[in-house]
Amino acid sequence: MNKHSTYRIILFDGVCNLCNGAVNFVIQRDTTNVFKFAPLQENAGTVLLKKYAIDPQKLDSIVLIENDKVYIKSSAALRIARKMSGLWPLLYVCVVIPRFIRDVVYDFIAKNRYKWFGKKEQCMIPTQGLKEKFL
């Protein structure tokens, strides 16, 4: 068993403002402390991409690694919502919508995320209080 297997790992675009906002949103609702995070552009993220044979050049998505399985796009988002506090787990019912339909919406937002929400010059630096949430 590897040291990360007890956590669900979220890989995200560390320079995307929307993605950083989503990470903060999940952290605030991760009351059971099941998620760890790593920007795709940082060492921990690139190591995991390589381990799971994910081509970063073809990736325009959030990635969830859960029980050694990889989920991307809407499947990752719904599985993440399922583990958050509050009413967010109710979104998981959307999993009955065929993935290709869910992913069309996801891809449209992902394609426009920099234009709509902006981009940072470097990955976010977690505060001292949040460092244990990052790989």
pLDDT in tens, 63-105: 999 999 999 999 999 999 999 999 999 999 999 999 999 999 9
Structure confidence at residue 130 as a pLDDT band (50, 70, 90): confident
pLDDT in tens, 55-71: 887 777 899 999 999 99
Give SS3 for 66.
Answer: strand
Instruction: Give domain status of residue 135, yes or no.
Output: no
- Domain that residue 113 falls in: 8-130
What pTM does this model have? 0.86
Instruction: Give domain status of residue 96, yes or no.
Output: yes
Instruction: Give domain status of residue 1, yes or no.
Output: no
Dihedral of CA atoms 101, 120, 63, 100 in degrees, nearest 10, equals 10
Q: What's the structural domain count of the chain?
A: 1
Instruction: Give domain status of residue 29, yes or no.
Output: yes
Rg, C-alpha atoms of the chain: 14
